[in-house]
Structure 1
Amino acid sequence: MSADTRTDSPPYLQEGGDFDRDMDYLPDRITRDARRPEHGPDAPTRPVEPGRYHLVAARACPWANRAIIVRRLLGLEDVLSLGLAGPVHDQRSWTFDLDEGGRDPVVGIERLQQAYLARDPDYPKGITVPAMVDIPSGQVVTNDFPWITHDLFHEWQDHHRPGAPDLWPADLRTEMESVMDRVFEDVNNGVYRCGFAGSQEAYDAAYDRLFAALDWLEERLTGQRYLMGDQLTEADVRLFTTLARFDAVYHGHFGCNRTKLTEMPVLWAYARDLFQTPGFGETIDFGQVKEHYYRVHTDLNPSGIVPRGPLVDGWLAPHGREVLGGKPLELD
């Protein structure tokens, strides 16, 4: 699993071999005036303050990739700094080996683990990205990835760029949350259920569930440009980060090999449409993605050999989805 150093351990398999993702993250929220948020867990809050927080992410990780995209779409670059860990971590932590001297230039740490231990010297869980770090204290605030992007939209609106997209339309929220739930359970996490299945039965069930969901998405997107219709929303961000990695790692490395993304015509065109949208494709580094999965998951790939393919030129090919209309983004 990309976002979590806990993933290769058998204790994270349920009885029967089903992969069990631990969703118990640091629940703190960063909200406008430290108010109690309307949605989500009732957790400690800290106030939104430009320049106070540092988003630590990794281009290799799909969960962190969401936060990178949303930050860019909303124009938060000047108020929320971004630190990028390298693609390969050990059992202790993500590291900043891409930065000069191997240190994050904003917080000054070599390992993301240091921000977790600054908050809790006995922190018992995995060191995950994305993570929001409080710069003055050097402490991690939250690593609860679904709520990080949710709050970047809802709680940081005073700092959004002019014309920032409405990623959470109020009139679509109920349906959107239902769509995102299935995308998460069957696709985002579904590929991991295949890759880390501990039995043939668990793998077969995960495989069938994944491709049933992809077939459902193929049908849903046939007559509309985005998951929720004409408007790009966070639902598209969440699906995109899995599709972008599908042929490069999930198809082979995780055994999700009924069909490549490039063999699903609607989803492939949809993914190219998003890839070519400002704020999306520029966040993808296929080299880092492959290096992470094939080198970190030593139980799945003991040799550590990183495949040279697949070719990625097709991501820039015309997608033809303009005929469906919609409201494509324009960023400065």
Structure 2
Amino acid sequence: MSEDQQGYYVLPGQEYTRDTTYIETRITADGRDGYPVEAGRYRLVVARACPWANRAIIVRRLLGLEDALSMGMCGPTHDARSWTFDLDPGGVDPVLGIERLQEAYFKRTPDYPRGITVPAIVDVPTGAVVTNDFAQMTLDLSTEWTAFHRDGAPELYPERLRGEIDEVAQLVYKDVNNGVYRCGFAGSQRSYEFAFDRLFARLDWLSERLAGQRYLVGDTITEADVRLFTTLARFDPVYHGHFKTNRSKLSEMPVLWAYARDLFQTPGFGDTIDFAQIKEHYYVVHSDVNPSRIVPKGPDLANWLTPHHREELGGRPFGDGTPPPPPRPGEVVPEGATPLRVG
């Protein structure tokens, strides 16, 4: 991958501002946007490296939507143009028949002017992207795709808790999910320090909240937990060093570390995490942050499997539901990429 193929993420002298304009078309039970929920019609395109896509992988798996919504997997690196299907034979997605996710965006909007992002849901018959609105996407999987949920699927977005889930999720997004990027892509010392202070103030707030309760909202896993988890899973392997979020490692924040291990050891969470792809993505793609593109060997991942004792706080991970079955054979994280596969 040559230098002129790389994207650039840091604007000197400026704070990082994420482009949050997404394709907001929704796939709904009533099809009001022209895309009704239908089994087999759509393909969820993800990359295990990406925290935003990782949310969709987890939710799809927890809800048991594998038979209704197929999943295409991009490789961990990309150039300035697009995510690519380099993990598939011949570098072509076997369902969509394309090499670059960009092709599906151009089917929807020729010369699509914004970033080619994952997750994206593609309409298989037309080959066009329907939506890349990652925040709404997982909520719709919970609320609009209920006809295809597995028996025992958990209620990740219960109506009685939606206001609180939305409030917590927005704080987590602003200061943590996006906050680590605002640290890592800061173009000035001032903007970095501002983002750094907000990040750790929010992590301290979350530690206090979680000190006496097992999950973020209510006594079961919800959408809020999924959204926080994907950032925490990347904290020590990537963000602490690569993004300079180094006041503390996750493993040095006792409550959040135990909380993250609790979720990691819960079916549907840790078995979606590919630490090898995560590290390769950040350290190779962000060449203006890491010009050498050297990928660190550490940290040791075996500590993700140590006892967390969070069950002592009570709570029921899946509420009245059940854990998801093991991942489908074609969706298993490669051995060695997660400590759940070691041994």
Normalised-by-shorter TM-score class: over 0.9
Q: Does the 8 A contact of 2:232 with 2:250 survive in 1?
A: yes
Question: CA–CA distance in 2 between the matches of 1:184 and 1:318?
Answer: 28
User: What TM-score comes out, normalization by structure 1 length?
Assistant: 0.93
Which residue in the other structure is 1:32 paired with?
29
Per-residue deviation, 1:171? 1.6
Q: Does the 8 A contact of 1:225 with 1:321 survive in 2?
A: yes
Which runs of structure 2 are paired with 1:93-132 in the superposition (5 Å)? 93-132=82-121
- Equivalent of 1:258, from 247, 253, 256? 247
- Equivalent of 2:187, from 184, 187, 198? 198
Question: CA–CA distance in 2 between the matches of 1:215 and 1:6?
Answer: 35
CA distance 1:79–1:143, change in 2 (3 Å): same
- Offset from partner CA, 1:62-109 (integer Å, 9 cap, x none): 000000000000000000000110000000100111111111111111
Q: Does the 8 A contact of 1:221 with 1:266 survive in 2?
A: yes
- Equivalent of 1:309, from 290, 298, 303? 298
Question: CA–CA distance in 2 between the matches of 1:313 and 1:57?
Answer: 26
Q: Does the 8 A contact of 1:57 with 1:64 survive in 2?
A: yes
Question: CA–CA distance in 2 between the matches of 1:45 and 1:300?
Answer: 41
What letter matches 2:76 in structure 1?
P
Which runs of structure 2 are paired with 1:57-72 in the superposition (5 Å)? 57-72=46-61
Per-residue deviation, 1:10? 5.4
What letter matches 2:39 in structure 1?
P
Per-residue deviation, 1:17? 1.9
- Equivalent of 2:220, from 225, 231, 246? 231
What letter matches 1:168 in structure 2?
Y
Matched residue SS, 1:31 = coil
Structure 2: unaligned runs, 5 residues or longer: 326-343
Which residue in the other structure is 1:38 paired with?
none
Corresponding pairs, count: 317
Q: Does the 8 A contact of 1:6 with 1:126 survive in 2?
A: no
CA distance 1:225–1:31, change in 2 (3 Å): same
Question: CA–CA distance in 1 between the matches of 2:186 and 2:6?
Answer: 15
- The worse-fitting range, judged by mean Cα deviation, of 78-87 and 166-175 is 166-175
Matched residue SS, 1:140 = strand
Question: CA–CA distance in 1 between the matches of 2:313 and 2:6?
Answer: 42
Question: CA–CA distance in 2 between the matches of 1:6 and 1:327?
Answer: 45
Q: Which runs of 4+ in 1 moved over 6 A?
A: none
User: What TM-score comes out, normalization by structure 2 length?
Assistant: 0.90
Question: CA–CA distance in 1 between the matches of 2:205 and 2:53?
Answer: 25
Matched residue SS, 1:54 = strand
Which runs of structure 2 are paired with 1:162-173 in the superposition (5 Å)? 162-173=151-162
- Offset from partner CA, 1:48-74 (integer Å, 9 cap, x none): 000000000000000000000000000
Structure 1: unaligned runs, 5 residues or longer: 36-43
Which residue in the other structure is 1:41 paired with?
none
Matched residue SS, 2:43 = strand
Per-residue deviation, 1:229? 3.0
What letter matches 1:137 in structure 2?
T
Q: Does the 8 A contact of 2:7 with 2:80 survive in 1?
A: no
Which residue in the other structure is 2:19 paired with?
22
Question: CA–CA distance in 2 between the matches of 1:154 and 1:180?
Answer: 17
Which residue in the other structure is 1:216 paired with?
205
What letter matches 1:268 in structure 2?
W
- Equivalent of 1:331, from 324, 327, 341? 324
Question: CA–CA distance in 2 between the matches of 1:115 and 1:193?
Answer: 29
